[in-house]
């Protein structure tokens, strides 16, 4: 199916964890605005320096920065049949900007209560070599990887609370916006990684994406 698929949900809902499975299923390349911003920060670019202070405080990066970043990505050849957008859009302004240039066939909302989020985020570890996401309790890294995993700078308990506030104030209203447009798919994300993945796969398959 043409058009992009949006992965939507609070920080730590499991968007990045589920993205590669959905990308393989649909053939749509995964594009994570969080990963793009972290790459910009690591490169030392002017945009990266501007974004860094927002990210470390747990605030959303300004819409104009993000909209510019995604507009460029949507023009690349592999975006012709749509992308798997992980973490974009996150505001109504971003959704309106996207709607002007790209159709959205499904918005997968992974729903997890706030109480579960802090433990997920604080225990998250990333493999800098492969980009794989692990959790010290729920998905521990294999022994050959465990010595090199790192923690994201914004994965502290204090920052998570700010990220959750930003989510509830600025991002959660988007669910209703997409529901009105008939593309929202709600998934209970408060179960095992495998169960969440199977539920998403079944929902996408039944919609013919």
Restricted to residues 55-84, the positions that interact with ligand AP5 (CB under 6 A) are 55, 58-61, 66
Has 152 been annotated as catalytic?
yes
Nearest-angstrom CA–CA distance, 77 and 27? 14
Q: Treating both helix axes as pointing N-terminal to C-terminal, what angle do 46-57 and 33-43 enclose, rounded to 10 degrees?
A: 120
Among 5, 135, 187, 209, binds ligand AP5 (CB under 6 A): 135
Among 37, 41, 83, 187, binds ligand AP5 (CB under 6 A): 37
Torsion of CA 70, 73, 78, 82, to 10 degrees: 10
* Residues in a beta bridge with 188: 111
Beta strand residue intervals within the chain, DSSP E: 4-8, 30-32, 84-86, 104-111, 124-126, 133-135, 184-188
Least distance from ligand AP5 to the Cβ atom of residue 69, Å: 9
* Token pair 């929202």: residue: 184
Among 4, 23, 26, 33, binds ligand AP5 (CB under 6 A): 33
Nearest-angstrom CA–CA distance, 10 and 80? 28
| Site string (141-180) toward ligand AP5, x via CB under 6 A | ----------------------x-----------------
Has 90 been annotated as catalytic?
yes
30 binds ligand AP5 (CB under 6 A): no
Judged by DSSP in three states, 124 sits in strand
Among 34, 52, 199, 204, binds ligand AP5 (CB under 6 A): 34
Least distance from ligand AP5 to the Cβ atom of residue 85, Å: 9
* Residues in a beta bridge with 107: 6, 184
> Which stretch, 23-31, 100-108, 142-150, 192-200, contacts ligand AP5 (CB under 6 A)?
192-200
What distances in angstroms separate CA 21 from CA 68, 84, 96, 130, one per listed residue? Answer: 27, 11, 27, 15
> Which stretch, 23-31, 41-49, 175-183, 186-194, contacts ligand AP5 (CB under 6 A)?
186-194
Residues that bind ligand AP5 (CB under 6 A): 9, 11-17, 33-34, 37, 54-55, 58-61, 66, 87-88, 90, 94, 120, 123-124, 133-135, 138-139, 163, 189, 192-193, 196
Tell me the catalytic residues: 15, 90, 124, 152, 163
């Amino acid at each position: 199916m043409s058009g992009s698929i949006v992965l939507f949900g609070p920080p730590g809902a499991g968007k990045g964890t589920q993205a590669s499975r959905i990308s393989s299923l649909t053939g749509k390349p995964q594009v994570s605005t969080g990963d793009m911003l972290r790459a910009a920060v690591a490169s030392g670019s002017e945009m990266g320096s501007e974004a860094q202070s927002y990210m470390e405080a747990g605030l959303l990066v300004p819409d104009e920065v993000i909209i510019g970043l995604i507009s460029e990505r949507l023009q690349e050849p592999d975006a012709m049949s749509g992308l798997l957008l992980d973490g974009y859009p996150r505001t109504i302004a971003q959704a309106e900007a996207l709607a002007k240039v790209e159709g959205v066939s499904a918005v997968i909302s992974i729903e997890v209560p706030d109480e579960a989020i802090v433990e997920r985020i604080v225990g998250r570890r990333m493999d800098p070599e492969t980009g794989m996401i692990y959790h010290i309790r729920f998905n521990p890294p294999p022994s050959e990887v465990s010595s090199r995993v790192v923690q994201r700078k914004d994965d502290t308990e204090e920052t998570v609370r700010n990220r959750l506030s930003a989510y509830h104030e600025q991002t959660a209203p988007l669910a209703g916006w997409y529901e009105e447009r008939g593309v929202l798919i709600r998934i209970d994300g408060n179960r095992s990684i495998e169960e969440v993945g199977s539920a998403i796969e079944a929902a996408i398959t039944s919609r013919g994406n």
